[in-house]
Amino acid sequence: MYGVSDFPPYPSGLRLAGRRVLVVGGGHVAQRRVPQLIAVGADVHVVSPVVRPAIEGLVGSGEITWHERPFEDGDLDGAWYVIAVTDDRAVNDHISELCERQRVFCVRSDDATLGTAWTPAVGREAGITVAVVGNRDPRRSASVRDEIVAGLRDGTIAAPHHRDRTPGVTLVGGGPGDPELISIAGRKALMSADVVVADRLAPRELLGDLPSDVELVDVAKLPRGRSAMQEEINRVIVDRALAGKRVVRFKGGDNFVFGRGYEEIIACREAGVPVTVIPGLTSPVAVPGIAGIPVTHRGVTHEFTVVSGHLPPGHAESLVDYDALARMRGTVVVMMGVENAPHIATALVEGGRDTGTPVAVVCDGTMPTQRTVLATLGTLAERLAAEDVKPPAIIVVGDVVAIAHPDAFPG
């Protein structure tokens, strides 16, 4: 004879929106389960003399109902689904017995074999709900769920004809370089593209994951000169989109932080091409963070300023007011400034910054070759030369550098 526990569970998708669900207990298990029930629209009632602050917050916001007392038999009236998560086995036994008699499915947190339902590991992506039940092995269930959801998100599981093929342009910020730091949405858009127009600093490893039929346009091979190159990029992305292609403009960092992304937005709009933006982790914040340097710190700085250093101070086309920047007390983060760093340091000192102001130069941020060169405004030029610093590098100026490296900048 087979017992009930010898059979696997029958998977079913419960539609609980607007239906009463009873949760008995207010501890850490309830804290995990209740938000999932709210997400599917259930009418959640929690019965417990005490609840965790997180659950109490949901009561205060009107998302659930809390009955501040021990369980009573009448609490089951009208319930479609019950979760018994108290730390009292006798109470859980009583609840599950009542549920059995009233033919209400019951989940037990203390002993899953005594319940009539199990809680699966659930994930959602693009309208698909993935629920995995791993024979009462929650870690394995969660691991399998995560693998499936990740595949749906990055497009490796979805069949090609299920992918969005609407023509248009998507600007994708790839982050500071490490391919693991691109957003889920960015990777998914990249893997769904017909044409990818890639910057030199976009995470290059991801290009190797593209399907073989994707057209890859290497920006480095376009006509030289900043203006000519941008005009050609605009032409390529617009022409391919008008030809019915899904185009991804793939950049390092973020599209709108010194990335000329909005010029591409304008070009698409003028041509009547649909265009969307997927932001990326921007290097002036992400790279110092990866290197262990905060751009702000309580009691040290209340602001940080990001500056493009591709033009030296005093250049006729420079839009940076270095005198005003020097008068500020916060952190200065310089992008594209390796070549002009000595001139920038001089300008900040002439504007009032102390020559002993700490400086960190983070080279090849997030990449295997990442390294940090420490200096002061007074020694920056010689340190850059001595360490043979080459782009790309992020330069951080301010007392936050000393917070991160107290041994190098004692009191």
- Angstrom distance (rounded) from CA 62 to CA 58: 6
DSSP assignment, residue 338?
A: T
Comparing CA positions, the residue from 349, 353, 371 lying closest to residue 362 is 371
- Angstrom distance (rounded) from CA 303 to CA 328: 9
Helix (H, G, I), strand (E, B) or coil at 86: coil
Q: Strand pairing of 393-397 and 331-335?
A: antiparallel
- Angstrom distance (rounded) from CA 9 to CA 141: 14
- The catalytic residue positions are 199, 221
What lies within 8 Å, CB to CB, of 392 at 6+ separation is: 201, 283, 336, 363, 364, 365
- Angstrom distance (rounded) from CA 154 to CA 191: 7
| Cis geometry, peptide bond prior to residue 392 (ω within 30 degrees of 0) | yes
With DSSP H G I counted as helix, E B as strand and the rest as coil, what are the percentages for the chain, rounded to 5? 35, 20, 45
Length in residues, the chain: 411
CB 397 within 8 A of CB 348: yes
Q: Strand pairing of 195-198 and 121-125?
A: unpaired
Give CA separation, 79 vs 9, 45, 106, 266, 276, in Å.
Answer: 21, 9, 10, 55, 44
Helix (H, G, I), strand (E, B) or coil at 396: strand
- Angstrom distance (rounded) from CA 133 to CA 208: 34
Comparing CA positions, the residue from 184, 185, 212 lying closest to residue 196 is 212
What letter represents residue 386's amino acid? A
- Angstrom distance (rounded) from CA 146 to CA 395: 37
Q: Which two tokens stand for residue 316?
A: 């006729």
